[in-house]
Amino acid sequence: MKQHTFTFMGTGAGCGVPAFFCDCPACEEARHNPAARRGDCGVMVTGGQTTLIDTPPDIRQYLIRENVRAVDQVLFTHWHFDHVGGLGEMEYMVQLRTRTKLPTYASPYTLSSINNEFHYMTYALDEHPVHIEEPLTLDGVSYTALGVRHAPGTYGYLVETPDTRLFYASDTGKLPRETAERVRGVDVMALDATFWGENGSPENHHSVQECIEEALSLDVKKLYLTHLCMHYAEPITLAELNEYLKQYDGQVEAAADGLSFPI
């Protein structure tokens, strides 16, 4: 049976950690400690093929870091710059290596936004609209789009293999009831945890504390915090966050750029 690997390509909110314009304790920590650095959110699933969820602006550096030579398909969670900004890098791959349109999956709203923003390269994309609860299998892995609370057309993805049920939602406020029940009891959840303490955008994001509370209420076996800003509202260093998470005895972990595990 084919083994698949799930990799966090980037785990930060839009401006990354450190942000070039910020000198808070979290950003200063990241300048001196590579383990505390975070690029914009995206993940990769590898097996026989390579599937990306989102193409953040840093995607070229992520792919070089992971020694990836070709991407077989891309799913998008939504159309914000920190999730689609690196799509232009895929044009060069199509032109110079694969010479085949890149299969691209997203909500109709996200595809429309991509077509507006990247109108010059849609010739390189084989676009497939994805609808909520519509079954989609890529390289032997099932991806089911589920509604979340964020921008129009934003999805979380339920990722399923014979061994693992995983829910990935990098950008969302409190999950809609139907989505929450659909993912109850998953083996792994990677969920938006943008803010520490006060949530500056509760309709669109979680705080760390809200993320943990919701995931544990859904009987999630393992929770990874992602889309971590570390410097919105009250800054928190990675060292401080890891100390806080010790109370969960390994059930809750801050995701890290490059972290991989089998699914």
CA–CA separation, 13 vs 18, rounded Å? 11
Q: What is the predicted pLDDT for the residue at 98?
A: 93
Domains with residue ranges and CATH for the chain: 5-262 (3.60.15.10)
DSSP-derived letter for residue 36 is G
pTM of the model: 0.96
Q: What is the predicted pLDDT for the residue at 1?
A: 56
CA–CA separation, 68 vs 150, rounded Å? 30
Q: What is the predicted pLDDT for the residue at 195?
A: 93
Task: Identify the CA nearest to 163 among candidates 75, 9, 47.
Answer: 47
Asked if the peptide bond before residue 202 counts as cis, ω within 30 degrees of 0, the response is no
**Tokens matching residue 155:** 């999805």
CA–CA separation, 159 vs 168, rounded Å? 7
Q: What is the predicted pLDDT for the residue at 2?
A: 67
Report the phi/psi class of residue 153: left, alpha or beta, with left for phi > 0 and alpha for psi in -120 to 50.
left
Q: Do residues 52 and 157 make contact, with C-beta atoms less than 8 angstroms apart?
A: no
Mean pLDDT for back-to-back runs of 10 residues, the chain (263 residues): 90 94 95 96 97 97 97 98 96 94 98 97 97 96 97 97 97 97 98 90 90 98 96 90 97 98 97
**Measuring CA to CA, how many Å separate 257 from each of 8, 17, 26, 196, 218?**
6, 11, 16, 19, 25
Report the phi/psi class of residue 64: left, alpha or beta, with left for phi > 0 and alpha for psi in -120 to 50.
alpha
**Measuring CA to CA, how many Å separate 242 from each of 115, 186, 232, 254?**
41, 23, 18, 7
Edge-to-edge strand list for the sheet holding 42-46: 125-129, 102-106, 73-75, 50-53, 42-46, 5-10, 260-262
Q: What is the predicted pLDDT for the residue at 46?
A: 98
As a three-state string, the secondary structure of 210-252 is: HHHHHHHHCCCCEEEEECECCCCECCCCHHHHHHHHHHHCCCE
**Tokens matching residue 174:** 């409190």
Q: What is the predicted pLDDT for the residue at 183?
A: 98
